[in-house]
Structure 1
Amino acid sequence: MAAATSSSCTASAFTRNLPTSNCLTPQFQKTTFQGLSLQDAKRVAFTSLVAEISLTTVQSVPKRGLQITARTAGAAKNIEVEVDKPLGLTLGQKQGGGVVITAVENGGNAARAGLKAGDQVLYTSSFFGDELWPADKLGFTKTAIQAKPDSVYFVVSRGAEVDVKKLPKRPAPPAFGRKLTDAQKARATHICLDCGYIYTLQKPFDEQADEYACPQCRAPKKRFAKYDVKTGKAIGAGIGLPIGVIIGLLVGVGGVGALLVYGLQ
């Protein structure tokens, strides 16, 4: 009986000395998650929530960005046209540099070519038409346009702001094989035998001074021949060969003669 009492007291004392925290360890706290402890359940729920938020963010952000990019790309475009004189448009200085079309006459050549008010002018024809110059300053651009006698080549931007100060000069589009407008065909009377430039000015070619030169290659007036609009060729072009061909023939003949002389010696 004494032994039993002693054993019971020892067990009670041992039980009282045990820390209370060990009796309530997290691994024995069951939750509605099948067999998971409360800590594990919280960890799983937090991880799932973070993954869902991350997935939603990754899927939504790129879509918005792509839509904005597509709208911007679709709205902006460059237009290149050749406009006969009279142009039928008004130019103005753009704030911060550059030239903009401020007005377009209804039914005018610029309107028929597709130009609109608000278009920013990026390039226009140079003085001689062999290059395209950036339209940075209004005064200089107007001077270059006035120097072109028949038509002006325009490159405009619609829907986007362009810093023309950073644009380099560009070569003019090739004149060979270029199609003439109906107005140009009606005035086409002569063609340059050296470069193929077609004279379409309102002033008759015969009334031009003897010092007149081709605006494209600077060939003299005598290098022009009458032009046949139907065939697209010079009338009597076989009479005068292009100067480049003549020089080539002379060089070739001279080379053959030199070979014969040195060969005989």
Structure 2
Amino acid sequence: MKSIIAIISAICLLASSAFAFAPATPRTLVAPRSAVAPTSLNVFGKRKTEAQKAEEAERAAQFWQGEWVCKDCGYIYNRGECAGMYFEEQGAGFRCPQCSGPRRRYAKKVGDRIGTTLDGGDAPILLFSFGGLIATIAFGVWAVQNL
């Protein structure tokens, strides 16, 4: 009886794996028709008016025009690789594309000097780490004396 169950389960296992790798049935997709012919695409982009250029320059002036550098790996932030967003527009969940370092590890680069960001850098992390270390040692001393 046990061998029959083992044979049936083996057949089911083989059948299920065979169906898993079977080619999918081809589906035909119908592309929606558009009013614009495919040859009317402008490869070089649209020309901007003077007002659009001035608006873009005004918007760019609001952000740091220098480079942002990851302090961990030296990656230089590239707007083109990050959805065309300025560094300041990136949210708190932004990570370095190269080393996955948090946003707070980026700093402004001015010439050969690299500064710190406005969000405090590593000072809060270091303060709370040392505070936790001191609290742990104090608790250990208190626990040993009160045993």
Question: Which category of TM-score, normalised to the shorter sequence, fits these structures?
Answer: 0.3 to 0.5
Scaled by the length of structure 2, what TM-score is found?
0.35
Q: Which has the higher contact order (CA 8 A, sep 6+)?
A: 2
Larger strand share, 1 or 2: 1
Q: Whose radius of gyration is greater, 1 or 2?
A: 1
Scaled by the length of structure 1, what TM-score is found?
0.22
